[in-house]
Amino acid sequence: MAYAAAAKFVALFGEAEARLLAPTTPASTGYDQAKIDLALTNASNFADTYLASRYPTPLNPVPDVVGDAVCDLAREALDRNGRAYVVQAADRRRAWFRDLSLGKATLGVAAGSEADPGANAPAAGGPVVDAPARVFDDVGLDAFLRG
């Protein structure tokens, strides 16, 4: 699940930047939304590797700061020129994700609020059971056991 959509990417960086980073083939006046969506999905998957140490992933709801960070990472992936300010922005976001996973940074939402993706998470250290419904029980086996 991508934490940002192409529309957010375009809103943050502008349509001209989107056309530069994800040109359509043949070149026209638009941008390749599928290419941007793929970069956003890959960046979201990368973010999950850090977020999973503290939150159930995928995050729901997605804090704005995570969506913005994913856009910066996707922008770097799409930028074939390696512009310094794009690389630096992505490096800052990677450092923030690392700090987040270590507990040195926060998502910027109040703990337990509706915006907190960890509010409905199971208690830390407790068992989590994810199993199918029970197939054999006393009622289902009654005829077999009584013979």
Q: Report pLDDT digits (tens) over 42-86.
A: 999 999 999 998 888 898 889 999 999 999 999 999 999 999 999
Predicted confidence at residue 133, as pLDDT, reads: 75
Give yes or no for residue 121 having a pLDDT over 60: no
Burial class for 136, CB neighbours closer than 10 Å (0-12, 13-18, 19+): exposed
* Cβ-defined contacts of 20-27 (< 8 Å, 24+): 21/75, 21/78, 21/79, 22/78
Predicted confidence at residue 118, as pLDDT, reads: 64
